[in-house]
Structures are given as C-alpha cells and as structure tokens.
Amino acid sequence: EVQLVESGGGLVQPGGSLRLSCAASGFTFSIYSMNWVRQAPGKGLEWLSYISSGSNTIYYADSVKGRFTISRDNAKNSLYLQMSSLRAEDTAVYYCAGGRGGTTFEYWGQGTLVTVSS
C-alpha cells in the first residue's frame, strides 16, 4: 500500500522557518518525481514545487520562489520542504504528492498544517 506521511507542521511566527518532511513507503520512491501542494483554510489547491527523481530538475511557484527549498533523500525515501521568511498567507495544509507522470498527483499524503501567526 502506498503511503505518504507528512510531518513538521505547526505554529510559527511571521519571518520564521520550518522544515516539512514526507516519508514514503509502498512504492519505489527513488524513481518518482515528487511535489508539494498546499491548501489554505477554506480555499483551493496551490502547487508549490516539483523535484525530479534524481533531484536534477526543480521548479517552484512564484509565490514561494526564493523562500522555500525542496529536496529529497532517496536512501531514506523522504521528501522535504524547507520554508523560510514565512508569512501569514503561507498558512495552509501542506501535502506531498506524486505519481507516475510526475506532473499529476496519483498519491497524496494526509497533509500537515502550517500556521503562521504571532
């Protein structure tokens, strides 16, 4: 069974940093491209970042470029999102997501809530 389990969310002050993790199991993580997608409370879905299987190709949404960094450790079957200079508008549930196509999201985690507030 495919599982993606996010962790690392919580309450952080504006301007602060947080590192999210996503532990993968049940599939060959090392050959899949992965993504982070977020959803603000009561709002729609927003794609944030993509990383190829070998970390050679990385993309970011303009809203997080320069502040967020995606990375992965295939030996640990893990995906990460380092977030810095956090703003109130970054408050959301953050999902890791991936699939065979790389740009569609067949697999999703349960999400981790990040709240940016003083």
Partner 1 sequence: EIVMTQSPATLSVSPGERATLSCRASQSVSSNLAWYQQKPGQAPRLLISGASTRATGIPARFSGSGAGTEFTLSISSLQSEDFAVYYCQQHNNWPLTFGGGTKVEIK
Q: Which of 32, 50, 80, 94 binds partner 1 (CB under 8 A)?
A: 50
Tell whether residue 40 is a contact of partner 1 (CB under 8 A): no
Among 11, 45, 88, 89, binds partner 1 (CB under 8 A): 45
Residue 41 interacts with partner 1 (CB under 8 A)?
no
Q: Of the two residues 87 and 100, which places its CB atom closer to partner 1 in the complex?
A: 100
Give the angle 59-61-67 at the CA atoms, nearest 5°: 90
Binding segment for partner 1 (CB under 8 A), chosen from 16-24, 25-33, 55-63, 66-74, is: 55-63
Contact between 7 and partner 1 (CB under 8 A)? no
What is the b/e burial string over 9-39, where b = at least 16 CB atoms within 10 angstroms of the residue's CB?
Answer: beebeeeeebebbbbbeebebeebbbbbbbe
**Paired tokens of 22:** 């996503």
Q: Cβ closer to partner 1: 29 or 36?
A: 36
Residues 6+ apart with CB under 8 A from 7: 20, 21, 22, 23, 112
Selection from 114, 96, 103 nearest residue 25 by Cα: 96
Residues that bind partner 1 (CB under 8 A): 35, 44-47, 50, 59-62, 95, 97, 99, 101, 103-106, 108-111
